[in-house]
Amino acid sequence: MLKYKTLFLMINVLGGISVLGGYAIGLTSAPENPSVLWGNVPENWRGGYGISMIVAAIGYLGFFFYIMQDNKWSQSLTKNHTVLNTVIALCALFLISASMWMPAALQFIKTGADSWWAITVGSLWITSLTVIGIFVVLMVQQNGTQIKMRLFAIFGLGYLGFHCLVLDAIIWTLNFPTGLYT
């Protein structure tokens, strides 16, 4: 029997490869000036963005390890657990959308097509909202035996949600010079 924990692990391994692969392909095939992906985000902010990306990734890893050690995730998929199904679906959507923004942004830069800009911005918003959804689901769950791990997971998802929503979906989007490409 397939367990929720196994499905969660598979989604995260495949999704993680997709996200990191999208970044690797995007950065190696970026235009001659890779800083174009920053848009008009001020140069003195970029180091802070980098640190924030690392903190956000650590936050997601805290959530990942919390789920992997939580016994309720050892249930069989045949149990049809609504909360676990919700987290699985949100995690899959989070990783799919997170893997889309850079390739879509690069296509927008190459083509100037409004559809690519819509996919870029849409993927950033979906990424943000799915993280916030996971955060809310985790917040309303009863405390388990691993309270410190749960708190780390909550704070980690909260920070990841802040990074994805404020820094990426709002600030990056507002600072991207779309007029140069359309």
Examine the pLDDT at 34 and tell me if it is beyond 80.
no
Examine the pLDDT at 142 and tell me if it is beyond 90.
no
Query: Considering the entire predicted model, what is its pTM?
Result: 0.91
Number of folded domains in the chain?
1
Burial class (CB in 10 A: 0-12, 13-18, 19+), 28: exposed
Confidence of residue 53 (pLDDT cuts 50, 70, 90): very high
List, for residues 147-176, the tens digit of each pLDDT value: 889 999 999 999 999 999 999 999 999 999
pLDDT of residue 126: 98
38-42, 92-96, 99-103, 116-120 — which is least confidently predicted? 38-42
pLDDT of residue 7: 95
What's the domain range around 69?
Answer: 4-180
CA distance 158 to 164: 10
> Residue 2 has which token pair?
């397939």
